[in-house]
A and B are shown apart, each in its own frame.
Chain A
């Protein structure tokens, strides 16, 4: 079947690939770019573990084909930190407030939270809960995650 040439900017770096149209963006990031921070669990849009930013907008990378990202800018969890070995305020807050346990869902939560706070720097409790409803965590019971998001919002406003 026809393969298609694509060029995607991933975390600021140009990446080119020759892909089958059915290759999801998540698989392109993990397999072709070696960026395994984007996690795959349900692979049908429910769990949110694969959330990335496409041209700055939070999307499920399992529900996009990589050909659709041709010419776009993708930011994965690896691209959120200001420089290698550091963390952005959201990551820092998840670390400080026990916003993770096994860590599997964490990249999705961190990316979603980054998008949520960019759009709404001072969210209410309801808005935080609504904003996190598209990401599933099986370990924490969510309380540490909620605390982390509140703390990140506060830290980013200062």
Chain B
């Protein structure tokens, strides 16, 4: 036994879970897949008085789709998303990102909502949520709200969720038409957190000019970083290789990496620039190929 003592709660309904949260607030922590929280508890980097286990809470694992987008319940396992042909069709960027998370044993437990709420700046799902302008559906005993992903991530492992709020689902708005998506990351070993990575979504018009683009960096600061400057550079253009390189550079400049044992900040920035360039190249090719169908 490594974690400090805690009281264990296993709510069967969302109502029961949010009532517990309303009652316990800051003293409680929600347990989703546990693939990040349990190591933190075991290393005693985190300590809780109450652990609220959502693994048997009804109504948190549905996937629903409509013309506007795809809504994925917070407790949907990453492995479920990884093996869903429907999700791959409806939210290609998510399907591309999930296999980069840890290893298959981790994805068998890890959840979509847990990863978003954990808000690790080097992880894939917060970056995907930010790139696709996802809406984070949140419920509390006092009411519901929807938080734009751009307002969710406030720092390392920190979100704008209040202590009594439960992340219920993530809605990914649909990208349709001539679109392409790519996830590129560089890690020393498969499944490690990337030294730096990028997720890109690109839409093009019938003349192959970029009319919609999202670029998000992973591992390049305290939160996932949306590279708006680089996006602006690309909008309206039919980018050649030089422009893609320039976009990678500008995107990397938007990050605020730090030095650590894996390498200095400058190295991270160079890796990130390259990841953005190759992700953009791949996404663009996919978007223009799509136009030829």
User: A interface vs B, CB < 8 Å?
Assistant: 1-2, 4, 20-24, 27, 43-45, 48, 51, 57-60, 62-65, 67-68, 112, 115-116, 129-131, 133-134
Contact = CB atoms under 8 A, between A and B. Distances in A.
B1 A59 contact: no
A67 B103 CA distance: 24
B109 A63 contact: yes
Nearest to A50: B105
A50 to B, nearest CB: 10
Interface in B86-131: 102-106, 108-109
Given A21-B7, A22-B6, A62-B42, A134 B1 contact: no
Interface residues of B, number: 30
Given A63-B35, A131-B104, A133-B189, A68 B53 contact: yes
Interface string B38-77: 1101110000000101010000000000000000000000
Interface string B1-13: 1111111101000
A63 B34 contact: yes
Contacts of A1: 5-7
Nearest to A112: B105
Given A22-B2, A133-B103, A133-B191, 4 more contacts: A22-B5, A48-B103, A115-B105, A131-B104
A43 B105 contact: no
Contact of A59 (B51, B53, B109): B109
A134 B106 CA distance: 8
The 9 closest A-B pairs by CB, nearest first: A134-B103, A21-B8, A44-B39, A133-B190, A63-B38, A22-B3, A1-B5, A58-B105, A57-B108
A68 B38 CA distance: 12
Contacts of B4: 22
A14 B166 CA distance: 35
A24 B41 CA distance: 11
A60 B38 CA distance: 11
B8 A43 contact: no
Contacts of B10: 67
B8 A2 contact: yes
Contacts of A57: 79, 108
Nearest to A31: B1
B8 A134 contact: no
B108 A59 contact: yes
A21 B6 contact: yes
Contacts of B104: 58, 115-116, 130-131, 134
Nearest to B34: A63
Contacts of A67: 8, 10, 53
B5 A130 contact: no
Nearest to B108: A57
